[in-house]
Chain A
Amino acid sequence: QAGLTQPPSVSKGLRQTATLTCIGNNNNVGYEGAAWLQQHQGHPPKLLFYRNYNRPSGISERFSASRSGNTASLTITGLQPEDEADYYCSAWDSSFSAWVFGGGTKLTVL
Chain B
Amino acid sequence: EVQLVESGGGLVQPGGSLRLSCAASGFSFSSYWMSWVRQAPGKGLEWVANIKEDESAKYYVDSVKGRFTISRDNAKNSLYLQMNSLRVEDTALYYCVRSVAGFDYWGQGTLVTVSS
Contacts and interface: CB of A to CB of B under 8 A. Distances in A.
B59 A44 contact: no
B45 A104 contact: yes
A87 to B, nearest CB: 11
Interface in A90-104: 90, 96-104
A32 B47 CA distance: 17
Contact of A1 (B45, B61, B100): B61
Contacts of B29: none
A93 to B, nearest CB: 10
A99 B36 CA distance: 11
Interface string A11-51: 00000000000000000000010010101000011110111
B13 interface: no
Given A1-B61, A44-B95, A44-B108, A99 B101 contact: no
* Residues of A in contact with B, size category: 20 to 34
Main secondary structure of the interface of B (DSSP, over half): strand
Interface string B42-81: 0011110010000000011110000000000000000000
Given A88-B44, A103-B44, A104-B44, A98 B61 contact: yes
A51 B47 contact: no
Residue in A86, A90, A102 whose Cβ sees the most chain B Cβ within 10 Å: A90
* Residues of B in contact with A, size category: 20 to 34
Contacts of A101: 44-47
Contacts of B44: 86, 88, 101-104
Contacts of A86: 44
Nearest to A103: B44
A35 B101 contact: yes
